[in-house]
Structures are given as structure tokens and as C-alpha cells.
Chain A
């Protein structure tokens, strides 16, 4: 990690710096203990408690012991910290009172006075006790007495400022103990001194910083002060703290520049606005760039000088802290920032000068990092450094363009002059890189020296950058650098090398659907293909560009003209054809067949009109438009045709093709739309709703894994067969936009492998589905016709008619439809209603024909006249014979029905007409000119609101005469409170078992009714006595009933029964004891 590669310059600001400790007194004594002292002092770490709430640190202390001189003591106002003596030690081994009195005391006093004069309080007196020496003396006082004397004389209340070191050079436990105590004392005092003196320094520094708004304040001066602090921290190996000092200076300067940009200029900042005259890049190979530092000190530094110096210091410290990747990241920020700051300060910079500076700096940072990391580390941190590589590439490129090194002819004299100026600004190479073969300086100088050298360096850098981007998966960035490279190759007239980069980039943009980059890259590719003479590719690209709406009209016309020019050239090699895909020229919008079903007899005429949407910007004259008819003859072709027709075909023979969308990525485009449906699930027993929800029918399509690899594949086309069935149209001019082209051709179907004529299955599909229904209101009758549009088109309906095709003269159909014109939208329905009126006896059946005119709703297709759409139907038994009226009464004495209590249901069945033709069936019995028929009624409640108690059905004999009425009483129990709809009353015709007309019967449903099995007793009113809370009469039937002569039920036609109470509701209130639950415990 050590940054110094070469011998350090003779300055005091180096890593060799240690805090200074002076030594006074017996120099020989000190020299004898010095080796042990300097070795032992850093061995144990000591906790350094910090001021301003900073976290305490463990610190290994080292010191530079120098002989005490008065000159070493800082004079008043001197801010130097590095040369500041943090501790003064006086060494003596005096053990003789006489000697002490004679010399040592005076010496000590002198020493103390000097310290006092400089108000230095950080001192220590060391008395070394030597056993060997003592023995030789006679008038020896006990050790303590000398110590006591010294303490008494000098250490006023600070007895700890005098320590004893016993036998320092011996190897005994006592010696060791003594050393330990001494070292601890020394460390403690050193740290105390640091805390005190650094604290004072920081306070002074802050005071200075607070004065920054004053007129005479100088950033450079302040810089030097704070850097002094940084140096001391660095000296104490507190790199983090040192870095903080530089970061603060960095932030302070940045803020000034920003403020300057905002109009708040500081005087001193104008020094930094001098025109840039030197752009030799960052220098990071020495821990301290003294040259730049001195220029700052002399207040002559330019902005680039200051920034370079500051960054070199930050870089050094970051490398000490083993954070090389942060260096790379900060470097990129710094370079961008410098460019911005120069702009903001409006510093005049010669063209290309900054490009040089940035290029040199990028390479310097990269080389510095490479110098302190191994290959593996670098390879795994490409993401951090690739930005610098890319930036350097970019800058070299612009230098190349600036200096005429990219043009085909090479630089002209102006370019050369500019190059010379740029090289002059680099100055001479710095001595520290002079011996490095690949130094940034040498690289730049060489790259600018010749076209060939530039190409070599630029290609090297570009390839390295692309490779790095690719290796870390930044494909888009790699493609982008590749595009620059392609541009370079195009300038160098080497389109064959450019093509691969352009194709690669284009593929990437197409895959992700970026329209503007696609257009731009395609334009470059077109030029490249033109130079390469790839006619077919060029025309294909041109066709895409001619239809590209992101280009200007002029550009589109140009590319369109390129194709037309080529087309008008006489072909030099006959037989060689260039086939371009159609979709870029024109899109098929629709096909229109006449006749509309597109099916003609052999020898018939089929007219095909196609609508083409021309994408070209200018009218294009087309020699011939050919439609190839592709016959697919295979098994099941009939079914496939039917499927295809239901899928694509609409009425009147128009097949629409949706316009292609913009270049979306295929993966996104192919996703089907959600198909959501309502879902109802009913209980199988009584048809009540169990669950409901929305389901997605095509979830398997939506959630299918998207194949990324297939996203660029185009659907494979159908191979053209020479001489296949073709429709031709010659000499057509396609205008931009929609064009209609008509092919009229006679189609005869020949079957080459058979002499027999082919049977062709025809499928017709109708645009509408029509249903009708008979509606009653008492005896009044209405016919409703519902027209449902099945097609994808919207239509306009007009002139609806309903006529009676029978010859009943007294019948009238009165239309109740107000509008004569009515739109019918795709997949929607329209209803028409007529009222039936008659004067005499109505006929048993009515033959109707419904007709309605229709035309497509869109205007451009109005020219087609279509026959009205017709629908014939028959309405039978529409005359109301019976009126059924049901009523529910609360139990006697009560005002309302209550849940759980029995209520009475009264059903009134009234005959509305005398004997009619329709009554003549086997149920009719005649006695004394009176006719009667048998009916069965049944009370059913499908909604489970009511429990029918006792009998729920019965057979009645109904006189066939107007106003004949039958009244039935039943008991029902409401199961819920609220307004409940009445239970259904159904009426059936009851046919005796000897009926031979089984064909008329609804054989499935009504014969298997176990309530009817009791009929064998001959009772006219068979009761079903079970409580049928669920109301179903279709209960289990035993198979033995089949085959037995059974009476049969026939449902009365809907028109013959009118339920006048349907829809009425009855109020049911809850019973009071609803919540009482009886529990019996045994």
C-alpha cells in the first residue's frame, strides 16, 4: 500500500513524520535508552479520548525524539503543527545531592524557564536510577531524596511530571515494570498534549473559517491551515480523520463555486478563474504533489490545480484506507464536476484542453488503482472502473475528431496547429512517470501524433471498454460504445467493420422497441450498406426508412426515391430479382369479395377488391400488383374453411386486416387480451345460485412463459410457386394512404389429378340471428322479434315489417316500433314489437314473415345495396284460454302473514272463452251440450320462500265455457320474512291414459310424477300429502311406472294461460319467537 515508489523528496511532509518530542539534560543517558524507548513506545496501543464527541480510538504512538533547542519552540502565532513539539523531556541520572545542587538544578531551572517563556506545559522529568553507579559513590542519598527534591523544586502540585526509570538497560522484572510504568506515563502525556494542542488548533481553525465572509479572507490560506490538521492526523495514522479534513475543504470550495454561479461571488475565487493554460492531468503517484501545493500556498493555483491537488490527497488517503474503488468512483465525479465548474465560472478553456485533461486523468486514476490491486481484484470490480474507461474513450474520440485524425484525408494545417497547442499545454512529462512506458502522458502524445497511432489507441480503448461492459452484462452500454466505433469506421471508409456494430445495436433496440434509436441506427446502417454495395439489404433498409414516421418527409422521400431509382435501372443480369418484404411498403387493410360469399360456380366471375395502405411518402407507380392464391387442399378442408369463415368472414364479403402496430417488442405484442366471463354456478337440485364470479378463459395463454429467444422471429411466409394461381392488376399508382385495387377475374377450378368435377362445400354465414316470442297481457297479444347482430360489423336497420302470410283477413299486426332507422352494433340486439288484433275468432295459428332492410353502418361501404333480411315463423295457440289468479291471505284474525304460520293460498282459474277449435282433443268430454276438460294445477315455489303444506297439486274438471271459474284452496307457510313473491301456479292439460296421441306429449317430464300415481284410485283430486318444502314435484320415479297405462300431462302453450298475479308480492313479518330454541336434555 505504500505509495512511495521512488526516493521521497526532502520535505518534512512525508509519512516518515512522527510527533516531535524534545530531549534535554543528559544526552548520553538518552542515547543509551533511546533504542529501547523507540522500540517499546509503539508496542502497546493507547486509547485516545477525543474532543467534540468524536469516538475514542486506539492509537499506536511513535515519536521523533530530537535534542531540545529553544528554536524548536513555536513562536506566538505560528500555526505549524507538524513541527510542533508535543512533549519536552528532561533526562538525568543524578543521584548525588552535591551534583544536583551544583549543576542539575540550574540546568533544570533554565529549561523550565524557556518552556514557561513559550507557555509550554507539556514536559516530563525522567530520573534514571542506575544500581551500578550507586555502588561506586559514597555520599549516596536514598533515591527518593533526589526525586523528592526535584519534585519539590519543579513539580509544584504536579508530582507525576517526574518519573523514575530503574536500571533501564538490565533484563530484570523490576526493569520491565519500571519501563512499563514509564511508557504508560509517556503515552498518556503525549495523548494529553495531542488533545490539548489539536483542540486548540481546531478551535483556531474554526474561528478562521467563521471569518470567511470577511473581505480579506483567503481560501488558500485556510486550505493550508486545515491541511496542517490533515497532515497531523495522517501522521498519527488517523487516515479517516485526515480524509474528513480534505472532504470538508472540497465541500467548502464546491459551495463557493455554486454560490458564485448564483451571483454571490467571493473575491478570492477570481484567482481560480484564470484561463486554463496547463492541462497535464491528475498526478497520483506521490503522496504529496509539492509543486501544486506550493502554487496553492502562493495563491497562484488555477481551479484545475486546486482540484487536482485536493483529489491526489484524497486518493492517497483512500488508498491507505484500502478503498481503491471509491477512488475510481470519486474520480469520475471529480472529472464531471471540474468540467461543470469551469463552465459555471466561465473560465476560458482552449478547445480540446479539457478533453486532454480528462483523458490523462482517467488513465492516471486507472493506472494508480492497477498499481495497488491484483488482476483478480480488478476483474471483479470492473463495474467501478468501466466508467473511467468509457469516459477516456469518449474524450480520445472527440480529440481525434478535433485534431482531424478521423477524417479520411488526415489532419490539415489548422488541425495540426491545434494539436501543437494542445500538446504544449501538457508541458513536459513529470519525472515520476518519465520511466513508465505506458504513462498517460506518453499515450496521449502518441495518439495525437499520427492518424495511425490515433486509430490504434482509440481502437484499443474502445475494444477494452466494450469488452468490459459486455463482461459485466451492460449490453446496452457496450452497444452504444460500439455505435461510436461504427461511426469512426464509417469516417475511415471502412463500412465492412462498421456493419457488425450497427447490426448489433439495431438488434438490441428492435428487441426492446426503442423507436428513435431504431430509426437513427437504421439510417446509419443504410449508409453503411450502400457503401458496401449490399443492394438488397440497402433497399430493404431504405424501404423501412421510407415508411418510418420518425423521419422527416424529406428523408423519407429520399429513401423512397432510392428504391424507385433502383427499380427504374435496367437490370444488368436478367433473372436476378430483388425481393423486398411488402409490409414496409404497404399494408393490406381489407379484401372485398363479390359475390360476398367468395364462392362461385365453375366459370363464374369473382371480383376481389383489396384495400392497400401505402406507407410510402410519395405516389408510387406500380407496374403490376399480383395476388397469389394459395390453395390448401387437405383433409377436413371443409371444416377448416368453415372455421376460418366464422372467424374472419363478415357479411357482404369484406375481410378486414387490422393495421400493424408500431414496432413493439414482439413479446409484448403477441400477448392476447384478457377474456373475462361472468360465471354462475347453480345448485343442481333447485337451480338456486350457489356461486358467482368472473373467470379468465385464456389464463393459460396469459401466464405462459414468454420465449425470449423467439421474440425476433418473423412468421415464415408461404413459398411462392411459379405459375400458381395469380390475380394480376397492372399499372396502378399507389397514393400515400389507403388505395383500392380491384381484381376481376374468372376462376375456373381445374382438378389436374381427376377427370371428375370436385364437390365444393359452401358455407353461408348470416349476419343476424333472429328469435321471436309471444307476449300476453290478459287477452291482448304481442309479437316480439329480436334481431341479434352476430358479425363484427355495425349495421343500420331500416323498414321493418311483420306480415301475416296466411289469409286470415280479420287479423291485424300493429307495429309499436317508433324508429324507422335503427343502428345495430356488432354483437348487440334490437327488438321489434307488434300487437296482434282480431275481430272474430282468432285462428289457431299464425304464419308471419319479418323483414328488415340493412346496410353496413360505415359510410364508405354504402354503395352496396342489399336485399332485406327476412325471417319467417309461426305462432300457434296464442289465444288466452285461462286466467290464473293466486292470492295469499293471512290466518284469520291476523293482519299480516307471519313466518312459520300457515296462510291460505287461493287460486282462481277462469275460462275466458267458449269452445274453440284448439280445445278439441281427447281431454274434452261432452255431456248434455256442455263441454268440459281436465286440467291439473300445481303450486311450486322454486325460490324456497314457501312451504306448501298439504296438497300441492290436483286435477280439476273445467267446463269449457266463458267465465267458468274454479277456485282452489291450499295452505302454505312462509319461510322468510319480507315481501315474498307468490309461489308459481302451473296449469297442465290432463290427458287420460287411453290417449293414443303420445307424439304430442312431452314425454320426458310430466309422466313421471309420483303424485299422479295415486290416480288409479279413480279419485278426481289426488292429494299429495307430503310436505314439499322444496317444491319439486319431479321427485324420484320408480321404473315400474314405465309401461303402465298412465295419465299424461301436457303443458298448456304459453299463450293460452295468463297468470294475472305473477309479479305480485305479499308482506310476511317475522314471528316473535324466531330465536327461541328448544333444547331437551335427557
Chain B
């Protein structure tokens, strides 16, 4: 499934980032950070159209030899970035979309928690993210 899942604040600092423990965490941090370039580009390029269609899924941000990086942006400009192993051919666009929707729902739950301070790093995400990283299609 996903090898790295990140939630990034409107100001582009990470609210939450987690990767599979077997891999080098730093690599994914760099990858997710770099992918923000394309997120920004996509948001500004199709900004208006995106709002009109209420399309939050940004699609494939950029492929690398080993990974595919996908993006999603909420209405409040919080970004979700998901890194998937390229060899995982079972993951099609639809699966990625539904994973992002799940992530969005969990994020909404976090925001609804009265003890959560918007903008703080998210703590209570691990269970859901773990399920998305392990679950096999």
C-alpha cells in the first residue's frame, strides 16, 4: 500500500508525516517536500477550475523510478501527499482517490476534536495511517 503519508499545513510545514519503518525516513521527507512544488503548480494552474468542480484530488504529482507521488488538497489548502511503491500495480487512480478520501475524513475528525489546536502537529492519526500502509488491495 502506501509507503509514506503526509499531511501538510497551508503554510507548507508538515502536520503529520509517516513512512514505512523499513525505509529511510529522510528520503520520504525530501520527496514529499519536493512534491510540494508540483502541488503549488497544480493548485495555481487549475485553481479556479478546481474550486468550481470541487475536485480535491490532484492526481499524480510526479513519478520517480521507484515511487509514485500523489496529491490532494482540502478546501482550506491543507495538502495530503501519498507515496506509493511503483511496483504496486494494483493501485489504480480509484484506489488512490478513496484512500485520500479516507485520509480527509480522519483529518476532519482530528479537526473536530476540541482539544486539537489547529496548526499543531497531529498525533492521533497513527491507527488509520497504519491501516492504509498495511492494507493490501
Contacts and interface: CB of A to CB of B under 8 A. Distances in A.
Given A333-B63, A387-B62, A517-B29, A668 B13 contact: yes
B65 interface: yes
B63 A336 contact: yes
Contacts of B33: 476, 480, 509, 512, 514, 517
Given A509-B33, A517-B29, A517-B30, A336 B13 contact: no
B14 A474 contact: no
B93 interface: no
Interface stretch (B35-43, B51-59, B100-108, B127-135): B35-43
A115 interface: no
Contacts of B26: 516-517, 520
B13 A340 contact: no
A696 to B, nearest CB: 14
Given A476-B36, A480-B30, A513-B14, A340 B41 contact: no
A514 B119 contact: no
Interface string A326-337: 000000110110
A261 B88 CA distance: 10
B37 A477 contact: yes
B11 interface: yes
Contacts of A181: none
A394 to B, nearest CB: 9
B122 interface: no
Nearest to B28: A516
Interface in A626-680: 664-665, 667-668, 671
A475 B37 CA distance: 7
B76 interface: no
Contacts of A513: 11-14
Contacts of A387: 62
A620 B61 CA distance: 48
A964 interface: no
24 contacts: A258-B89, A261-B89, A333-B63, A343-B87, A383-B41, A473-B37, A473-B41, A475-B37, A476-B33, A476-B34, A480-B33, A512-B11, A512-B12, A512-B13, A513-B12, A514-B14, A514-B29, A516-B29, A517-B26, A517-B33, A664-B13, A665-B12, A668-B11, A668-B13
A339 B66 CA distance: 9
B64 interface: yes
Interface string A283-316: 0000000000000000000000000000000000
Interface string A592-607: 0000000000000000
A344 interface: yes
Contacts, number: 69
A340 B34 contact: no
A344 B11 contact: no
Given A476-B37, A668-B119, A344 B87 contact: yes
A903 B92 CA distance: 80
Interface string B74-95: 0000000000001101000000
Contacts of A332: 63
Contact of A480 (B11, B34, B65, B66): B34
A336 B86 contact: yes
B25 interface: yes
A509 to B, nearest CB: 7
B9 interface: yes
Interface string A252-283: 00000010010000000000000000000000
Contacts of A476: 33-34, 36-37
Contacts of B13: 512-514, 664-665, 668
Contacts of A514: 13-14, 29, 33
Interface residues of B, dominant DSSP: mixed
Question: In the complex, which of the residues A335, A340, A475, A671 has the most CB atoms of chain B within 10 Å of its own CB atom?
Answer: A340
A279 to B, nearest CB: 15
A340 B29 contact: no
Interface of A: 258, 261, 332-333, 335-336, 339-340, 343-344, 383, 387, 469, 472-477, 480, 509, 512-517, 520, 664-665, 667-668, 671
Contacts of B63: 332-333, 336
A315 B2 CA distance: 32
A516 B26 CA distance: 6
B55 to A, nearest CB: 20
Contacts of A509: 33
A469 B37 CA distance: 10
Contacts of B40: 473
Of the listed residues B9, B37, B86, the one surrounded by the most CB atoms of chain A closer than 10 A to its CB is B37
A472 B45 CA distance: 12
Given A343-B87, A469-B37, 9 more contacts: A336-B65, A336-B86, A387-B62, A473-B41, A509-B33, A517-B29, A520-B26, A665-B13, A667-B11
A474 B41 contact: yes
A858 B114 CA distance: 26
Contacts of B34: 476-477, 480
Interface in B13-36: 13-14, 25-26, 29-30, 33-34, 36
Contacts of A515: 14
A333 B30 CA distance: 21
Contact of B11 (A336, A469, A474, A665): A665
Contacts of A344: 87
Contacts of B25: 516
A383 B45 CA distance: 12
Contacts of A258: 89
A515 B6 CA distance: 14
Contacts of B37: 469, 473-477
B87 A668 contact: no
A469 B34 CA distance: 11
Nearest to B64: A336
A258 B89 CA distance: 7
Contacts of A667: 11
Contacts of B14: 513-515
A1015 to B, nearest CB: 61
Contact of B119 (A336, A343, A517, A671): A671
Contacts of A383: 41
A387 B25 CA distance: 23
A515 B66 CA distance: 24
A28 to B, nearest CB: 63
7 closest A-B pairs by beta carbon, nearest first, are: A513-B13, A474-B37, A516-B29, A512-B12, A476-B37, A258-B89, A476-B34
A520 B28 CA distance: 13
A254 to B, nearest CB: 9
A1081 B82 CA distance: 77
B73 to A, nearest CB: 16
B122 to A, nearest CB: 14
Contacts of A520: 26
Contacts of A469: 37
Instruction: Point out which of B14, B33, B119 has the most chain A C-beta atoms below 10 A from its C-beta.
Output: B33
Contacts of B36: 476
B12 to A, nearest CB: 5
Which of A261, A336, A339, A509 has the most chain B CB atoms closer than 10 A to its own CB? Answer: A336
B119 A340 contact: no
B87 to A, nearest CB: 6
Contacts of B38: 474
A340 B88 CA distance: 10
A676 to B, nearest CB: 13
A517 B89 CA distance: 30
Contacts of B12: 512-513, 665
A340 B29 CA distance: 23
A671 B9 CA distance: 14
A476 B30 CA distance: 9
A845 to B, nearest CB: 50
A36 B74 CA distance: 66
Contacts of B87: 261, 340, 343-344
A258 B91 CA distance: 12
A664 B11 CA distance: 10
Contacts of A261: 87, 89
A509 B12 CA distance: 10
